[in-house]
């Protein structure tokens, strides 16, 4: 592959970093704000359907509990598979993009707009196959945006800002989920606005970020991307890069544990706590608020401490363990008050985890020249559990179900044990303290 020549024109008064160059200058508060708002907007648009909106949409098609959970698995599972493929492929393509607007911007803008159009389709679909088509398209487009967007963290941030900015990104991700649940609670009866309003917020956030992003231009045409090379896009050898492999495994476990519950949280509140659909949507919104408040404080403090001390592993492992304990506690929860308390515990745990884990990942990437590709492979650990969770969760809920009702105890204990595994595999990492 030819060695690329990079554009070094200034942007916003500062030199644009070269492709593959390790940044040393801290980014401005304005840039960090735009980055955080973009993350917020994307998660408002994309995680709302996963948490609440798709369940509400499915509820307009059937009122049978088992049919609703089966339909959610049928729709969300294939969509997450599409996300796995798209995340890696579009990350690699953005590494190789020679647009005069930069490597990442065309994908960030184009993907966000296409995602919004797909979500509008979902809002108007009147059948499970129609919802499936729209959701798969939304996941493909969203990851065409998200993978290049995440690659800009490696492109733009110096090491001394890794944990603090990662904390902000993780916080805004969950504030976005909070925003999505609040919007869903307010727009329960209007399917068009339920999906269109979050989609518009996602597009606006990404447009603002693209406007301030000093995206370097790759001026030399990369070598030919044949089928064999494309397949290599999906692989980082864990034997050659064991720290990256262990970080990948930990993230996979923690995200799987999280989505085993959150995919079915709305149904848990209806089936286990006896709430109706409107009350359950409101309870999800309240729980997400409690969770996010706990996450914001814990996450920001963890990011500051991690950057000052340089410690990553112990904080990641401890937070994953605490999150697993909280998940298992939900198996014994039968009141809304207890539910909100456990959500607060899990919010503290996940806030620490997302703040420090991304900083750890940025420091174990195999090759900064292929940051989009490598982060795309890493993001399989985010997307693949979202694919597995609906199918695995539906199986666990159906196993040994009492009186025809879903087996939430089995689901939640399984999630807790998976999270424990995520805590343990982080400990052998050597490159990061």
What is the per-residue DSSP string for 40-83? HHHHHHHHHIIIIIHHHHHHTT---HHHHHHHHHHHHHHHHHHH
What is the structure's pLDDT at 98? Answer: 81
Asked if residue 115 is part of any domain, the answer here is yes
* pTM exceeding 0.95: no
Asked if residue 8 is part of any domain, the answer here is no
What is the structure's pLDDT at 406? Answer: 82
What is the structure's pLDDT at 131? Answer: 92
Asked if residue 431 is part of any domain, the answer here is no
For residue 67, report the phi and psi dihedrals to the nearest 5 degrees: -70, -35
What's the pLDDT tens digit per position in 317-339? 999 999 999 999 998 888 999 99
What is the structure's pLDDT at 9? Answer: 38
Domain harbouring 334, CATH code: 1.20.1250.20
Identify the CA nearest to 56 among candidates 66, 44, 68, 46: 68
Domain that holds residue 268: 26-217+228-424
What is the structure's pLDDT at 116? Answer: 95
> Which residue numbers in the chain have pLDDT < 50?
1-14
Six token digits for residue 221: 């045409």
> Rounded to whole angstroms, what are the CA distances from 376 to 34, 43, 136, 253, 364?
22, 17, 18, 17, 14
Asked if residue 63 is part of any domain, the answer here is yes
What is the structure's pLDDT at 17? Answer: 58
To the nearest 5 percent, what fractions of the chain are helix, strand and coil? 75, 0, 25
The Cα–Cα gap between 196 and 202 comes to: 10
Asked if residue 39 is part of any domain, the answer here is yes
> Rounded to whole angstroms, what are the CA distances from 47 to 69, 141, 259?
17, 14, 11
Our count of domains for the chain comes to: 1
What is the structure's pLDDT at 2? Answer: 32
What is the structure's pLDDT at 401? Answer: 61
Residue 281 burial by Cβ neighbours in a 10 Å radius (0-12, 13-18, 19+): buried
End-to-end CA distance of the chain: 34
What is the structure's pLDDT at 295? Answer: 86
Asked if residue 5 is part of any domain, the answer here is no
Contact assessment for residue 205 and residue 35, using Cβ atoms and an 8 Å cutoff: no
Asked if residue 14 is part of any domain, the answer here is no
């Amino acid at each position: 592959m030819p060695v690329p020549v990079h554009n070094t024109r200034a942007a916003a008064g500062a030199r644009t970093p070269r492709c593959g160059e390790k940044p040393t200058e801290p980014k401005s508060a304005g840039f960090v704000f735009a980055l955080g708002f973009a993350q917020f907007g994307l998660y408002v648009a994309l995680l709302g359907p996963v948490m609440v909106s798709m369940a509400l949409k499915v509820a307009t098609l059937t009122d049978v509990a088992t049919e609703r959970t089966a339909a959610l698995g049928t729709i969300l599972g294939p969509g997450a598979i599409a996300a796995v493929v798209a995340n890696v492929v579009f990350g690699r393509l953005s590494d190789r993009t020679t647009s005069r607007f930069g490597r990442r911007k065309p994908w960030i803008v184009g993907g966000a707009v296409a995602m919004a159009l797909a979500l509008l389709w979902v809002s108007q679909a009147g059948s499970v196959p129609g919802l499936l088509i729209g959701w798969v398209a939304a996941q493909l487009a969203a990851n065409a945006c998200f993978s290049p967007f995440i690659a800009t963290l490696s492109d733009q941030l110096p090491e001394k800002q890794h944990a603090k900015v990662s904390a902000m990104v993780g916080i805004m991700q969950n504030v976005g989920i909070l925003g999505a649940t609040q919007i869903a609670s307010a727009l329960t009866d209007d399917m068009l606005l339920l999906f269109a309003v979050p989609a518009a917020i996602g597009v606006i956030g990404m447009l603002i970020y693209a406007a301030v992003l000093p995206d370097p231009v790759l001026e030399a045409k990369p070598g030919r991307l044949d089928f064999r090379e494309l397949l290599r896009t999906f692989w980082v050898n864990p034997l050659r890069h064991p720290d990256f492999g262990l970080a990948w495994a930990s993230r996979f476990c923690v995200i799987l544990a999280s989505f085993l519950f959150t995919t079915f949280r709305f149904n848990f509140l209806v089936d286990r706590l006896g709430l109706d659909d409107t009350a359950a949507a409101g309870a999800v919104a309240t729980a997400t608020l409690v969770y996010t408040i706990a996450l914001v404080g814990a996450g920001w403090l963890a990011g500051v401490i991690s950057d000052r001390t340089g410690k990553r592993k112990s904080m990641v492992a401890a937070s994953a363990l605490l999150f697993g304990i909280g998940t298992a506690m939900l198996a014994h929860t039968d009141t809304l008050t207890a539910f909100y308390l456990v959500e607060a515990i899990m919010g503290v745990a996940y806030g620490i985890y997302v703040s420090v884990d991304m900083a750890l990942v940025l420091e174990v990437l195999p090759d900064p020249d292929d940051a989009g590709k490598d982060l795309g492979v890493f993001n399989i650990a985010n997307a693949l559990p979202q694919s597995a969770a609906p199918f695995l969760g539906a199986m666990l809920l159906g196993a040994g179900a009492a009186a025809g009702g879903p087996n939430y105890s089995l689901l939640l204990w399984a999630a807790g044990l998976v999270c424990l595994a995520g805590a343990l595999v982080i400990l052998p990492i050597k490159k990061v303290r």
